[in-house]
Structure 1
C-alpha cells in the first residue's frame, strides 16, 4: 500500500506538494520517503514515493532511478521467479532496465505481470511518460487535471481547481511530454462499448485525445487453465448431511478440484509469507537490523468466517513458530448501544471471531494468535 505521486507541470508554473497531500501519502508509506524534480525542457515533473516495506531483505526507496528511466510502483506481482531477498519493485526495476526504454519491450514485460498493481514509468531519453493499472483495477491510481498540468497519485487530498477521477484500468497509457493534448492507450484487450465510454470520459476530464493502438493481450486473461464443469445435482443424494458431505468429497472430480485449489492457495500464501519484510515497524525504527525480530509481521483481516480462518490456518504453516500472527477484527457499534449496560461490540463478526480464534488455538496450540479488536463508533 505505497503512496506514489507524479505531477507534470508546464514551464510557466511551479509545483509544490501541499503538507496535507504529503501527509496522506506518508500514511500509505510510512517507512521511507523520497522525492525528486526533473526538468524536461517544456516543463517539470515531480516524483514522490512513500514506501510501506512488505517485501525483501531491505526497503526499496522510491522513486527508483535506473539508467534512462524513473519508476514508481504500488502493488504485488504474482508467479515470478524472483528471489525472496528482493521486493517486487526491485525485480520490476531490473526488468525495466532490460527493456532499454523500448516500448515493445515494455509491453512484453507488462504482458507477463499478474497481480494487483499500478505503476508510472518515465523515459528520460525520449521524454515519454507511461502509466497503468492492472486489468482488474485492484490498486488505485487517481488522475487529476490541475490548472498547470496533470498528476497521477495513489490517494488525493481535496483541493479546489482540480478534476479527479480513477484512471480507467484499461491498459498502458503513453504521453509524450512535448504534447499534453494527445494520449496513446495500449489496452489489455480489445475495448468494448463500456470501456470506450470510459476513454471518452477520461479525455473530457483531462483535456486530451486518446488514440487506441495494439492490445497487450496477456495470456492469463485470455487463457483460463482451470475449468471445472460438473454439476452437484448429478451425484447421488443422501438425506443425512454428514453422509452427503462424505459422498461429495469422495467423487474423483471434486477430490481433484479440491486438491488443485488447496495447492494453489497454499502456494500463494507461502509466497506472501516468505516475502514478508524481516523487521516489524518497531524494530525498523530502532534499527535493530542485526537482531532477529520476533514480533508479528503478518496480519489477517479476520471476521471469523470460514474464508479468513482457512487463510490463518494455512499461514500458520509458513510463519516461524516463535512469531505471533495478528488477526484484525472490526466491529461496528451495536445499534442497541443506547443502553450503557448493553455490550456495544457484541455484534456477529466479533462473536464469530472469538469462536474461530479459539478453534485456531486448539488446532495450533504452539502459535500465539493475537486478536486485535477494532471498535468503530457511528
Structure 2
C-alpha cells in the first residue's frame, strides 16, 4: 500500500501542494517517500508517492521505466497476474504496463488483477494520463480541478477546510478507468476524461446513472465515454436474481432455540455443501491476505513474543469471528493475532448523576439507576456492547486454539480524545464524506486501527501497541448477505424481488459509502486495510447463489440475516457468536452516544462543518 499523489498543471504555473495533504500521505507510506516531475509540451506533472512496504524488495515509487512511463500503484495483486513471493507487485505491474501500446492492452492487464487497487499511470507515448480504482473501490482516490490555475489533482487522501470556496475534493467514482489526453487538454485549456467503464455496474454509466456520476466529476472537467466503446470485463459474476416459488413462512416460536435451528439446517446435505464451499473460498481469501507479511515495529515496541503481523477489527460479532477463526488456519501457530476492540466511554446519565449525589448524602441508600443494557454493579465506563461480545468471542477463539496467543487489545476512548483527534486528523481523512454516519464510523475505525490500548496478561493489564501492518475487516458481509435491518424492512414490503434489488444496490454503492473512507482512515496509521469478504472469488460465489440460500428473513433476528454465514460459523466450531444479531459499529462501540442524540445518520455532520 502507499499514498499516491499527482498534480497535473496545464499552464506553466509553479507546482505546489498542500502541506497537510503531504503529511497525511506520508503517514500512509512511512517506509519510503519520493517525488518525480515530468514536463511535456505545455503541461507538467508532479508525482509524489509514499510507500508502505508489504512484499518482495522495497520498490521506490513513483516507478520510472526505461521508456519514460511513470507508475504510482496503491494496491495488492492477490491473483490474476503471477507474482512470486520474492517479487514486488508494483514492479511486476509496471513491467506489464510497459509492454502495452494500446488502450485495450492496458485494460486487459488491469482486468486480470484480483485484489484492491488505485493507480495513476503516465504513458509517455501519446502523452496520456491513466488513473482509476478497482471494481469495488477498495482503495481511495480523490480528485479536484482548480480552474484558476488549470490544475487537476489526484490523491489518496486530501484535507478538509471548512471555509474552502470554489474547487472541492470528490471521490473518483469506481465505475471504470479514466484517461486524459494531455496534449488535447493543454490546447483546450480544460480536462476531458475519457471513461473506460466496467462491463457490469458502470456499463449504464451514461444512461440511468449519468446524473449521479456527473455529480462526482470535478467542476471544470468533462467526462465522455471512450469512442472505441471499450469496457473492462467485470471481475465477478452477475448477481443471481432468481425468485423462489411461493413458500410457507417457517415459524420459530422460541428465539432462544436459534443455535439448535442452525444445527438442524446444517444437517441437510444441500446446505452443508454450500457452507463448505463458502468456507473454502473465504479461507483462501484470508490466506492470500495474511501470509508472508512484514512486521510494523511501533515506537514503543512490545516484547518480541507479542508481535503480530495481522490484526482484526474485532467486535466478537459473526463477521470478525469467522475472519479470526480462518486466519488461525493460515498464520503460524507461534505468531500472535491482534484483536482490536474499541470502546467509547459511557456517559453517565443525568438521572444517575442525581442519584449518585443523593447517595453521597444518604450513603446507606443504594442507587437503582442503570445504564441501559449494562450491569452498572459489575461494569466499567468502557464496558460497551462490543467490548462485552468481544470478550465472549475471545473465549470462543481460545477454545478453538489454546496454543495461539490472541492479543485482545482494549482501545478506550474518552470524549476529550475523540474531539481532539477528530479536529486534528480524522476530519481530513473522512473528507469529502461529511455525514453523521461517516463521522461516527470514521472515528471508531481510526481509533481501532491505531491498535494502541491495553491487554491483559496473567490478570494484569498493561499498555500495548499492535505491530501489525495488515488489518482485516469484515466489510462486505452485511451488504451481500442481508445483514442490515433495512434488508428485513425491504423484504417485508417487497419480498425476495425487493431484497435482491436492495442487495444489488448495496454492493454497487459500497465504494462511495464505505471503502474509500475506511482505506483513508486505516491507512493513516501506516497499516493496510484488507477485505476478505470482498475478494473477487468470494463475491462471485455469493452472487451465484439464490438469495434465499444466503438469508432467510422469515427466521428471527440472529438467525435469518446472514444465514449462510451463521451456518459457516457453526461448521467452524463457533458458539453463541453465530447467533448474535447485527449491531452497527457506531452503536456497539457507543460512539453514537457521545454526541448529539437527536442527529440522524444521514445529516451533514456539524462537527465537520465547524472544523
User: What is the alpha-carbon distance in structure 2 between the residues aligned to residue 206 and residue 266 of structure 1?
Assistant: 46
Instruction: Summarize deviations over 1:337-363 as a string: whole Å, max 9, x none.
Output: 776997221100011111111221232
Structure 1: gaps of 5 or more residues: 287-291
- Cα pair distance change 1:67/1:307, threshold 3 Å: same
Match among 151, 154, 161 for residue 152 of structure 1: 154
- Pairwise CA distance, 1:247: 2.9
- Pairwise CA distance, 1:110: 1.8
Is 2:133–2:176's contact at 8 Å kept on the other side of the alignment? yes
Residue range with higher mean Cα deviation, 150-159 or 237-246:
237-246
| 1:205 matched to 2:219 | yes
Which residue does the alignment assign to 1:61?
A: 60
| 1:95 matched to 2:105 | no
TM-score (ref. length: structure 1): 0.86
- Pairwise CA distance, 1:241: 5.3
- Cα pair distance change 1:352/1:293, threshold 3 Å: closer
State the SS of the aligned residue for 1:15. coil
Is 1:228–1:257's contact at 8 Å kept on the other side of the alignment? no
Residue range with higher mean Cα deviation, 196-205 or 88-97:
196-205
Which residue does the alignment assign to 1:289?
A: none
Which residue does the alignment assign to 2:297?
A: 281
Is 1:301–1:329's contact at 8 Å kept on the other side of the alignment? yes
State the SS of the aligned residue for 1:265. helix
Give the 4+ runs in structure 1 shifted more than 4 A: 226-243, 337-342
TM-score (ref. length: structure 2): 0.55
User: What is the alpha-carbon distance in structure 1 between the residues aligned to residue 88 and residue 386 of structure 2?
Assistant: 34
- Cα pair distance change 1:234/1:33, threshold 3 Å: farther
Which residue does the alignment assign to 2:344?
A: 332
Is 2:170–2:218's contact at 8 Å kept on the other side of the alignment? no
User: What is the alpha-carbon distance in structure 1 between the residues aligned to residue 31 and residue 275 of structure 2?
Assistant: 39
User: What is the alpha-carbon distance in structure 2 between the residues aligned to residue 20 and residue 236 of structure 1?
Assistant: 57
Which residue does the alignment assign to 1:358?
A: 395
Instruction: Summarize deviations over 1:269-302 as a string: whole Å, max 9, x none.
Output: 111111423x33359x99xxxxx99721111100
State the SS of the aligned residue for 1:316. helix
| 1:268 matched to 2:275 | no
Greater relative contact order, per chain length (Cα 8 Å cut-off, separation 6+)? 2
Is 2:135–2:234's contact at 8 Å kept on the other side of the alignment? no
- Cα pair distance change 1:29/1:162, threshold 3 Å: same
- Pairwise CA distance, 1:258: 0.5
User: What is the alpha-carbon distance in structure 2 between the residues aligned to residue 191 and residue 179 of structure 1?
Assistant: 26
Is 2:194–2:224's contact at 8 Å kept on the other side of the alignment? yes
- Pairwise CA distance, 1:142: 0.6
| 1:245 matched to 2:268 | no
Is 2:198–2:234's contact at 8 Å kept on the other side of the alignment? no
Which residue does the alignment assign to 1:175?
A: 180
Q: Which has the higher strand share?
A: 1
Which residue does the alignment assign to 2:411?
A: 374
- Cα pair distance change 1:325/1:137, threshold 3 Å: same
Is 1:337–1:343's contact at 8 Å kept on the other side of the alignment? no
User: What is the alpha-carbon distance in structure 1 between the residues aligned to residue 327 and residue 344 of structure 2?
Assistant: 27
State the SS of the aligned residue for 2:329. coil
Is 1:294–1:322's contact at 8 Å kept on the other side of the alignment? no
Is 1:237–1:244's contact at 8 Å kept on the other side of the alignment? no
User: What is the alpha-carbon distance in structure 2 between the residues aligned to residue 366 and residue 228 of structure 1?
Assistant: 45
| 1:163 matched to 2:189 | no
Structure 2: gaps of 5 or more residues: 357-375, 416-611
User: What is the alpha-carbon distance in structure 2 between the residues aligned to residue 296 and residue 337 of structure 1?
Assistant: 39
Matched residues, number: 368
- Cα pair distance change 1:337/1:27, threshold 3 Å: farther
State the SS of the aligned residue for 1:138. coil
User: What is the alpha-carbon distance in structure 1 between the residues aligned to residue 403 and residue 246 of structure 2?
Assistant: 38
Which residue does the alignment assign to 1:220?
A: 235
State the SS of the aligned residue for 1:94. helix
